[in-house]
Amino acid sequence: MSASASRLSPDDDRKLDALLQQVRKARETEMGYPTNADFDYSRLMPFLEFPLNNCGDPFVPTRFRLNTHDFEREVLKIFAQLTAFPLHESWGYVTNGGTEGNMYGLFLAREMLPTGIVYFSEDTHYSVPKILRCLNMRHIMIRSQPDGRMDLEDLRETLRLHRDVPPILFANIGTTVKGAVDDLHGIRKILRDFAIHQHYIHADAALSGMILPFVDHPQPWNREAGADSISISGHKLIGSPMPCGVVMARKAFVDRIARSVEYVGTLDTTLSGSRNGYTPLVLWYAFKSLGLEGFRNRIESCLDMAQYATDRLNELGRHAWRNENSITVVFDKPAEAIVRKWQLATERDIAHLITVPHVHKEQINGLIQDLRREAS
Cβ atoms of 305 and 359 within 8 Å: the answer is yes
User: For helices 98-112 and 127-135, what crossing angle results, to 10°?
Assistant: 40
Best CA proximity match to 235, nearest among 33, 23, 26, 35:
35
Give the C-alpha separation, 76 to 279, whole Å: 12
Residue 310 backbone dihedrals phi, psi, to 5 degrees = -60, -45
Give the C-alpha separation, 188 to 185, whole Å: 5
Dihedral (C-alpha) 269, 272, 276, 280: value to the nearest 10 degrees?
-30
Task: Report the half-sphere exposure of 200 (CA within 13 A, side-chain side).
Answer: 25
Cβ atoms of 91 and 83 within 8 Å: the answer is no
Is 9 one of the annotated active-site residues of the chain? no
Residue 376's alpha-carbon distances to 84, 336, 373, in angstroms, are 51, 16, 5
Best CA proximity match to 279, nearest among 41, 103, 83:
41
HEC readout, 280-346: HHHHHHHHHHHHHHHHHHHHHHHHHHHHHHHHHHHHCCCCCECCCCCCEEEEECCCHHHHHHCCCEE
**Do you know the residue count of the chain?**
376
Give the C-alpha separation, 117 to 115, whole Å: 7
Give the C-alpha separation, 258 to 271, whole Å: 11
Cβ atoms of 173 and 201 within 8 Å: the answer is no
Cβ atoms of 203 and 171 within 8 Å: the answer is yes
**Which of 272, 301, 326, 376 does the annotation list as catalytic?**
326
Cβ atoms of 101 and 246 within 8 Å: the answer is yes
Cβ atoms of 355 and 302 within 8 Å: the answer is yes
- Nearest-Å Rg of the Cα atoms of the chain is 22
Positions marked catalytic: 326
